[in-house]
Amino acid sequence: MSKLAYRRILLKLSGEALMGDEDYGIDPKIIHRIAAEVMEAQQAGCEIALVVGGGNIFRGAGLAAGGMDRVTGDHMGMLATVINALAMQDALEKLGGKARVMSAIKINDVCEDYIRRRAIRHLEKGRLVIFAAGTGNPFFTTDSGAALRAIEIGADLLLKATKVDGIYNKDPKKHPDAVRYDTLTYDEVINNGLEVMDTAAFALARDSDLPLRVFDMSQPGELLRILQGEPIGTLVRGRNHH
Ligand code: UDP
């Protein structure tokens, strides 16, 4: 077994990542493929926690734009992340993995409550942990939930899977001459006006010196290669990392 560069990581998947080519909801083929990659990375020896978003079902801000109370909309968005987390748990279990969903909102009949020490214990015992319901509070996002949980469980790396293969100086879909960064510091992200995560998530990660890597999960095998130390995507470094 090749030695991995990371002992424990947190992987953030947006709800849209689970949608595949569908317009809404979950594409079973996509979630199966992602689960297989997570299992492969875990079997290589890394402890893996996941945070899943809910944007493929509901987002509070979108519901509020349609006239709904924002807090109610955010509650619906958080419940959407629980739906995705259950689907991810199922996909991992179908592949023989041991997985536990832990929710920031109490829904005891369908999953565990988030308890930090228990989450760490699950990871130590070789279980995959899926953190659902973000931070449990309205007006936050699952990016904030991912940064928060990564820090709480002492993850060595926060991995953010997106549809773009890293951080560019401008939107690569609109500008063919956009340039991708290999590494950045948190200060460089701010100084260059780059958008990587929302402000709350970004501030948490920066203040805790949490290394963040942004990559494209649709490229098969990249998760494992990143854990083996390959510089795929863009790394945002904390002050004390080089
Ligand atoms: N949400 C929230 N608090 C949190 C995390 C999520 O209120 O701590 C709600 C919010 O409405 C958000 C929705 O859940 O829009 C889905 O999460 P997110 O938009 O982060 O999902 P993603 O874009 O990653 O699919």
Going by the annotation, the residues of the binding site for UMP are 54, 74, 135-142
For the stretch 24-45, pLDDT in tens is: 899 999 999 999 999 999 999 9
Report whether pLDDT(1) > 60. no
Q: Is 185 exposed, middle or buried (0-12, 13-18, 19+ CB in 10 A)?
A: middle
Cβ of 211 closer than 6 Å to ligand 1, yes or no, is: no
* Cα atoms found within 13 Å of the Cα of residue 115, Cβ hemisphere only: 8
Cα–Cα dist 150/165, whole Å: 21
What value does the mean pLDDT take over residues 124-137? 98
Report whether pLDDT(165) > 90. yes
Cα–Cα dist 145/151, whole Å: 10
Report pTM: 0.96
Going by the annotation, the residues of the binding site for ATP are 12-15, 55, 59, 162, 168, 171
Backbone φ and ψ of 130, nearest 5°: -115, 115
For the stretch 193-219, pLDDT in tens is: 898 999 999 999 999 999 999 999 888
For the stretch 58-103, pLDDT in tens is: 999 999 999 999 999 999 999 999 999 999 999 999 999 999 999 9
CATH architecture of the domain with range 8-236 = 3-Layer(aba) Sandwich (3.40)
Domain ranges of the chain: 8-236
Cβ of 165 closer than 6 Å to ligand 1, yes or no, is: no
| Sequence-ordered list of residues with C-beta below 8 angstroms from that of 238, at least 6 positions apart, any chain | 185, 186, 205, 206, 208, 209, 210, 211
Q: Is 6 helix (H, G, I), strand (E, B) or coil?
A: coil
